Amino acid sequence: MPVRGVRRRYLRFSVVTNIELTDAEVNDVIKNSVKELYGLKGLAKTDPSLIEYDSKKMNGIIRCNNEELRTMRAAIAYITDIKGAEAAIHVSRVSGTIKTLKRKEAPIKLKSELQENVN
């Protein structure tokens, strides 16, 4: 009997704040937000984990359980300050794979730009 693994969702997010943050700080803030809203059981069910974070661009990818996507988005929206400074985290895109999420992130070239490259 085949057993399917846990389905995941990947969220592309950006952090809006005046201070510079490390990936460990962002990971802790997101996990603490889930824990505050839904407790340890909710944290275990959501299973958030930071996949990547770019401290210069202040954006990254976080993974969560497929069935707890709404929980994850609510917990991210709940964040209003980080280390005492005003902050917000915005989710820009959700995908089932990291590959698709990164491909959709790439800048879209206009048709006119493509024609210029050919000539």
Q: Which domains does the chain have, with CATH numbers?
A: 8-118 (3.30.70.3250)
118 or 63, which is more confident: 63
Residue ranges with strand state E in 1-119: 8-17, 49-54, 59-65, 81-82, 85-95
pLDDT at 106: 58
CB atoms within 10 A of CB 66: 10
Share of the chain above pLDDT 90, in %: 72
Query: Which of 41-45, 54-58, 113-117 is predicted least confidently?
Result: 113-117
CA–CA distance, 102 with 60 (Å, rounded to integer): 10
Q: 28: pLDDT confidence band, cut at 50, 70 and 90?
A: very high
- pLDDT for position 32: 95
How many CA atoms, within 13 angstroms, populate the side-chain half-sphere of residue 3? 2
What pLDDT does 5 receive? 81
Name the pLDDT band for 36 (thresholds 50, 70, 90). very high
